[in-house]
Structure 1
Amino acid sequence: MTSLVPSSNIMLVFACISALAWLGFAAEKTKVGKMLTGLFCTAGSAIVLSNMGVLPFQSQAYEFVMTYLVPMAIPLFLFRVNLKEIFQETGRTIIAFTIGAFTTVIGIVICVSFLDLGPLESDLAGLFAAGYIGGALNFASASEAIQFPDPTLLSAGIAADGLAGFIYIMVLAVLPSVQFLTKVFGQEPSTNAVTIDNDKQPITLFSIISLLAASALIVSIGNLLSAWLGMPSYAILFITAISLLPSTLFANQLKGVNGGFDLGMICTYLFFAAVGASANLTVLLQVAPTIMLFAILVIVIHAVLLFPIARAFKLSLGEVIIASNACILGPTTAAALAAARGWRHLVTPGLLAGLFGYAIGTFIGVTVAAML
């Protein structure tokens, strides 16, 4: 089927997926968009447009995003991930997060044993392990590391990940009101009028070019090192490891360099737009229900195991909820939920625990895929 936007017009195709990324960011400013998440809106819109014949299923523009922008997003996200700071300031929340990551892997192994996800089952399980320990970035980078070959199945995974995560954050929001849990864990201390401090140093041109240049350099070194060691398919893992060095070793010098997270999010939204546009809706609807069931069951097992184990470690209800949020949904929602509940003391730990997930999620996802 010939699309309205020809695949040969690479710049026009890129303009379209850029517009879809913009749509996702714009959707985040609405109530419905916040519930569905901007990434889901971007990917969903791309799926609809390609299956209506507006966008092509294949294009070099999509390959450009996968080949160059996804790897560059990793250093951009991780430039401010200081491992020393994470372990010093997260306190007991990092223990709960580690338990949550472990129970996520257990949930994936259990679900794979009785749900048939098809011939790419192990790879798909690895993507969910990466995403449910890190976030959307890890889902994307793991797909590159594993060289996931089926864009339709990848889109189904993205859709299931977004919907299951949306359901879970609503569950986490009401858990502190469940009397049984407050009796078992005790009441989490709270304060009134809590807000997240969003004041940041300005993003300057110097910061942007520094981040882009450093990111490109790190990606190049990771590619060269992985090729030299005879493991070119694992370049993403080398890039991730190298990306953690600057912020950990030179934290003070990098404090004035801002905007990496913002640039990384743009790359991630473009990735979701490209993947969505590559998906065949007919096949997607056939495989999506099974993958959706898989995603929900993984989260259920994660939570069912996490809360009793965390209680045995004498962790508080708030610490467990925020750590679970950071694990499944990432750092920003974890910090936001902590603030919304009045848990001022858990805002920074939740944010840092989620960033730690960014650092380790891809490694764990690739490992799970290899083991299964």
Structure 2
Amino acid sequence: MLRKKIVLTGGGTAGHVMVNVALIPKLKELGWEIVYIGSHQGIEREIIGRIDGVPYYPVSTGKLRRYFDWKNFKDPFHVLKGIWQAYRLIQKEKPAVVFSKGGFVSVPVILGAWLNGVPSVIHESDLTPGLANKIAMPFATKICLTFPETKNHVQADKAVYVGAVIREELKHGSAERGRRLCRFAGKKPVLLAMGGSLGSKTINDALRACLPALLSEFDIVHICGKGNVDSSLIGQQGYRQFEYVNEELPDLLALADLVVSRAGANAIFELLALRKPMLLIPLSKAASRGDQILNARSFEKAGYAAVLMEEDLTDESLPAAIRRLYENRDRYRQNMERSGNNDPLQTLLSVIEDTAR
């Protein structure tokens, strides 16, 4: 009989956790016992810590950088320590399968599973795999893909196209609750701006620089990241700042008429599922491996989003791009309606259960 126990892992950013958050209630309904392995201080510990019935075990990890840093000389030892800790935890817990959403903490866990002979499933969000997943993929049993094009970058016999997994609660937000939370009068369209779970100083600064121009046309909800609230703008009519939102996010998304966002895969597929016209400002290659640029261009080509490159972001270009997006909002919504309504979450659950068997 299948031992219905699963280890989940993934962290570093909210994007590497939220698919796990979507999976947990469904796994519980199916009778799975769930254990989470994450880092000591990553955002995953805070997010998973709010979920009842999911024990959390931290392991040592290190960031695998593509640039010179003195920490590159000691972090491999943290990773090796993490592999040993994950190996012992998996040996003790004896799961039927391990599921990874990625991030550097997932590398020790996937390797620990492989050393124990436990099958594992990785979910890759971006169009091209990140460094952590590239390292872990040879040791995984199955690799689930968000973009069909990613099949060109992974081992063909392991690849399964699943699509983007969306948290069910995001579909049940209330625009009225969001309006009350923000204390908006409801007379203007609402612009939601966010820069990922850690915030974006570039987007924050550009948005605030053109607030007077935008507030004449829009009410603005700004999720600006921890420590990034501008105290001088508290109380500004039509402008509401949040460091980070959790339970409130479905209501704020329901309230939004259009969204300015980074181009992390989880975020943009959530906006696609909710049919929100979006202006994507991907991280530049100077600050990333370029994965967000590929994500954004894919959505732009499909007609789901407008794109403004970070190097083109100015006090003039941002308001102009937002106005064009609003003028063409119906066209973007129509394109998104044609994107399909398959059930990636159910497909992913089937892959996990089949792999466990």
Same fold per TM (> 0.5)? no
Higher relative contact order (CA 8 A, sep 6+): 1
Normalized per residue, which structure has more strand? 2
Normalized per residue, which structure has more helix? 1
Q: TM-score, normalised by structure 1?
A: 0.23
